[in-house]
Structure 1
Amino acid sequence: MPVPISPILRATLRCVPALLAFAAGLAVAQTVHEVGIREYRFEPAELRIKAGDAVRWSNREKRTSHSVVFPAEGGLESERMFPGESWQRTFDQRGRHDYQCGPHPEMKGVVLVEE
């Protein structure tokens, strides 16, 4: 004779496949790419990444603050980064993401997001 299963146990067992799938997704680590800011330049100025990856901009100047602005994306802008500080953004959308420095608009870079 089969042992009866409580409604709570039954609901828990139904959730297990979804929880395993979620955990497997967490196991895929996001890649974080580094862009240094020094001598009023982004290094590298052009970066190719995969969708879902992140970019971290790090201010390596001695005295100057910078920010990262995406003019074509509604002017999305990081907070001001002072020497030694960094800012990170994850890119989920494919395409070209041009950016510049807020206080120094002659400083330009691009993130190219591929699948």
Structure 2
Amino acid sequence: MSDLRRVWVAKTAAKTLVAVSFATALVAAPAFAAEAKPAAIVVIDNFSFSPAQLSVSAGSTVTWENHDDMPHTIVNDATPREFKSAPLDSGEQFSQTFPKPGTYKYFCSIHPHMTGTIVVK
């Protein structure tokens, strides 16, 4: 076999190996994606939580994203408090996992008229 032919065979084999590896990764990806719970996002904007009420499954994590140009907090309206964020500046996030069913009311301690509810099923 000529040197040119050997180089061509080696390059073809390498390309085939990369293609098979990529295809295997694509086939395996949905199995991992199916196990992950969908993201639950609450957007803070214009001095409100959106959605104001969100339903999630037990074990889900909710993330609040501050899109406002003012700082806000997320504080559970229960005694004792189950969660409380530090003040979030614009662009910052806070996440809370809800392991058990229930209704979790919350508010912004800086702007108490801002309220929301997480319903965990």
| TM-score normalised by the chain length of structure 1 | 0.71
Are the structure 2 counterparts of residues 73 and 90 from structure 1 closer, same or farther at C-alpha, using a change threshold of 3 Å?
Answer: farther
Aligned length: 90
Match of 1:98 in 2: 105
Flag structure 1 segments of 5+ consecutive residues without an equivalent: 1-26
Identity %: 33
Aligned to 1:54: 61
Separation (CA, whole Å) in 1 of partners of 2:80 and 2:110: 17
- Richer in strand (by share): 1
Which residue does 2:39 correspond to in 1? 32
- Structure 1: which 4+ aligned runs deviate by more than 6 Å? none
1:89 counterpart residue number: 96
Q: Which structure: greater helix fraction?
A: 2
Partner of 1:107: 114
Matched, 1:74 2:75: no
Q: Which residue identity lines up with residue 94 of structure 1 in the other structure?
A: P
Q: CA separation in 1, counterparts of 2:68 and 2:56?
A: 25
Query: Structure 2 CA distance, aligned partners of 1:73 and 1:51?
Result: 21
TM-score computed with the length of structure 2 as normaliser: 0.68
Larger radius of gyration: 2
Distance 2:79 2:50 in 1: 22
Report the Cα distance in structure 2 between the residues aligned to 1:86 and 1:57, rounded to whole angstroms. 5
Aligned-residue offset at 1:32:
2.1
Structure 2 spans left out of the alignment, 5+ residues: 1-33
The CA deviation string for residues 19-62 of structure 1, in whole angstroms up to 9 with x for no partner, is xxxxxxxx721332010001100000000000011110000012
Instruction: Please state how far the C-alpha of 1:73 moved relative to its aligned partner.
Output: 4.6
RMSD: 2.0
Q: Secondary structure at the match of 1:72?
A: coil
Q: Is the 8 A contact 2:77 2:104 kept in 1?
A: no
